[in-house]
């Protein structure tokens, strides 16, 4: 069975973490589409890498029903696990 992936990157202007919704980039992981098919994953990644006017450092991240599986990706999705000093 193929692995489920989401496509993520950082916004060029803001640097913010963004996710591919199928038609656009969103800062909300809830709007990310899950890509099941390896061919589909590959072509989505290639398109994202070519989308250099909007995003940088695009890559595919493994997900399950609860979201990204790796801790790094979970932190990247939810933000720092600590309370920021200014409460920001």
Partner 1 sequence: MYRYDDFDDRFVRARVAEFRGQVERRLSGELTEAEFKPLRLMNGLYLQLHAYMLRVAIPYGTLSAVQMRILAEIAERWDRGYGHFTTRQNIQFNWPKLEDVPDILERLADVEMHAIQTSGNCIRNVTADAFAGVAADEIEDPRPTAELMRQWSTRHPEFSFLPRKFKIAITGSPNDRAATKVHDIGLRMVRNDTGEPGYEVAVGGGQGRTPMIASVVRDFVPKDELLAYLEAIMRVYNLHGRRDNKFKARIKILVHELGLKAFSEQVEAAYEELRGRVRVDPELVRTIEAAFAPPAYDHLPEASPTFGRAYEAIPEFARWADTNLLQHKASGYVAVTVSLKPIGGIPGDATSEQMRALADAADRFGFGELRVTHEQNIVLPDVRTDQLLALWRHLVAHGLDTANRGLVTDIIACPGMDYCSLATARSIPVAQAISERFGDPDRQQAIGPLAIKISGCINACGHHHVGHIGVLGLEKNGEEYYQLTLGGAPEGEAALGKRAGPGLAAAEVPVAIERLVDHYLAARADGETFLQTYRRLGHETFKEVLHAVGD
Computed from CA positions of residues 14, 15, 16, 22, in that sequence, does the dihedral angle turn out positive or negative? positive
Note whether 48 and 7 are within 8 A (CB).
yes
Q: Is 28 in the site for partner 1 (CB under 8 A)?
A: no
C-alpha–C-alpha distance, residues 10 and 3, integer Å: 22
Size of the site for partner 1 (CB under 8 A): 25
Q: Which is nearer to partner 1, 34 or 52 (CB)?
A: 52
By beta-carbon proximity to partner 1, the closer residue of 1 and 84 is 84
Query: What residues make contact with partner 1 under the rule CB under 8 A?
Result: 10, 12-17, 52-53, 56-57, 69-72, 75-76, 79-82, 84-86, 88
């Amino acid at each position: 069975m193929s692995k489920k992936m989401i496509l993520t990157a950082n916004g060029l202007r803001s640097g913010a973490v963004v996710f591919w919704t199928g038609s656009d980039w969103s800062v909300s992981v809830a709007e990310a589409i899950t890509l099941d098919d390896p061919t589909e994953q590959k072509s989505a990644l290639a398109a994202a890498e070519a989308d250099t006017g909007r995003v940088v450092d695009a890559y595919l991240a493994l997900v399950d029903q609860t979201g990204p599986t790796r801790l790094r990706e979970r932190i990247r999705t939810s933000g720092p696990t600590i309370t920021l000093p200014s409460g920001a």
